[in-house]
Amino acid sequence: MNLSGIYFITDRTYCSLPIYEMVSAVLDAGIRIIQYRDKDRTRREIYGEAARLRELTHAFDAVLIINDHADIAVAVEADGLHLGQDDLPLKEARRIVGKMLIGISTHSIAQATEAEAGGADYIGFGPIFHTTTKDAGAPQGLDNLRMIKQNVSIPVVAIGGISLESAQSVFSAGADAVAVATAICRGEIKENAEKFARIAGEIEKRPG
């Protein structure tokens, strides 16, 4: 399964569109990795939205990853589950989701190598830059991203404060994918998503 390019994370903070319309706009723009993340809805509401997003992402041949909720990921037959450092342990999550992709948020080399050793399929690493989306600690910077890439062999999704202006430098530092929420959701969502997709496409076409 392809985990390269732009990895969109749903964000209600800066976008008034319903989740379905938000994701539709991003998919129309060419982005093919969606993480459904919602910290405010009830589990029943999250399940209902996740089920609709599963149908939508299938129509676009896109990857759907559910944040936090292993049971909901299984129930809607998502492609993956994403967990933070304080969520369900990787070993226990694997028992629930089976062969489904599991990604782990990491903030250090120790966490990254532990995630890989534990069977994670990819890691999120960051925050690369300062971010207001959530309190994820001090910015890690591009040098630490390069170091992570030298120490793990699974895909690395860079996250945290990444803008249109900085996305190319993050790809150049070795990120397999770049996670974006605010920079797409703030303003004209489809236009922003198209710009990011263009950057990812240009990177993917480079030789070597």
Give the pLDDT confidence score for residue 1 in this predicted structure.
Answer: 78
Backbone angles phi, psi at 43, to 5 degrees: -65, -35
The dihedral over CA atoms of 104, 108, 110, 114, expressed in degrees to the nearest 10, equals 10
* Of 106, 55, 54, residue with least CA distance to 82: 106
Mean pLDDT by 10 residues, the chain (208 residues): 93 90 97 96 96 98 98 98 97 97 97 98 96 74 97 98 97 97 94 96 62
Separation of alpha carbons 116 and 145, rounded Å: 15
Give the pLDDT confidence score for residue 99 in this predicted structure.
Answer: 96
Strands (DSSP E) found in the chain: 5-9, 33-36, 63-67, 80-83, 101-106, 122-125, 156-158, 177-180
Report pTM: 0.94
Q: What is the CATH number of the domain that holds 142?
A: 3.20.20.70
Active site annotation includes 105: yes
Give the pLDDT confidence score for residue 15 in this predicted structure.
Answer: 87
Which listed residue (32, 37, 54, 149) is catalytic?
37
Give the pLDDT confidence score for residue 129 in this predicted structure.
Answer: 96
Give the pLDDT confidence score for residue 26 in this predicted structure.
Answer: 97
Residue numbers of the domain that contains 92: 5-204
Which listed residue (41, 43, 95, 134) is catalytic?
134
Active site annotation includes 91: no
Which listed residue (24, 32, 94, 105) is catalytic?
105
Please give the tally of structural domains in the chain. Answer: 1
Give the pLDDT confidence score for residue 194 in this predicted structure.
Answer: 97
